[in-house]
Amino acid sequence: MARRTGRRPGNPDTREAILTSARDAFAERGIDGASIRTIAAGAGVDPALVHHYFGTKDKLFLAVMNVPFDPSELLPQIVAGGSDGIGERLVRTFLRIWDSPAGAAGVALLRSVISNEWAARLMRDFVVTQILRRVVAGLDLSPAEAPLRTSLVASQLVGLAMARYLLRIEPLAHTPAEIAVAAIAPTVQRYLTGELTGVFEPATDVEQATGAQPPTGVEPATGVV
């Protein structure tokens, strides 16, 4: 009997094959460059089957990353209140997730980022496209300043996760969440909306009149515009 060709049937291995293909595609091309069609071809399935298992490309990316939360659900609630208090809302939500049982997945993710290059690339793309880009879209930030401001926020939150949950540096590891929020939120707020003396050059009268953006001396982060 001739062997049948075509897409794979829906069996227990299909989902893992899609995840493996997606992991390679996202690590190589980033979430913006990878397509559902390419991922499906790598898994040997029809693109419709990828949508059947995972829905959108963003959902597939979250499944690959094994992230314990969905930024598309949380971040709109955080930015809905506007710029005032955004630092406190960000840090409080961050700690609530990491202090919950779901935080174990986050710790495992941090460990993989440290030891694996493709995991680091995936994490970078996740932070840029799924978090920073959504924060920029939800707040009225200067396009010239937004990339660096949001990158500074990322440095604060990633550093907090490393110190509190992975390295478990005391007393931060067991500091009550409200105290951590009180200590860290003002810095996050300043990074997003405060005066960063010596970081951004003030616009000249000509630039203010024409709308041109002054150079900042910092290359914008890819995709965070």
**pLDDT tens sequence across 175-208:** 999 999 999 999 999 999 999 999 997 655 444 4
User: Number of H helices and number of E strands within the chain?
Assistant: 12, 0
Q: What is the mean pLDDT of the chain?
A: 84
pLDDT at 3: 41
Query: What is the average per-residue pLDDT within 142-149?
Result: 93
Rounded CA-CA distance 146/142 in Å is: 6
CATH 1.10.357.10, domain 67-197, yes or no: yes
Instruction: Indicate whether 214 pLDDT > 60.
Output: no
Query: Where exactly are the structural domains of the chain?
Result: 12-64, 67-197
Q: In this prediction, what percent of the chain has a pLDDT beyond 70?
A: 84
Rounded CA-CA distance 167/161 in Å is: 9
Rounded CA-CA distance 204/84 in Å is: 27
CB 22 within 8 A of CB 31: no
CATH topology (fold) of 12-64:
Arc Repressor Mutant, subunit A (1.10.10)
User: pTM higher than 0.75 for the full model?
Assistant: no
pLDDT at 45: 94
Ranking 24-38, 39-53, 190-204 by mean pLDDT, the lowest is 190-204
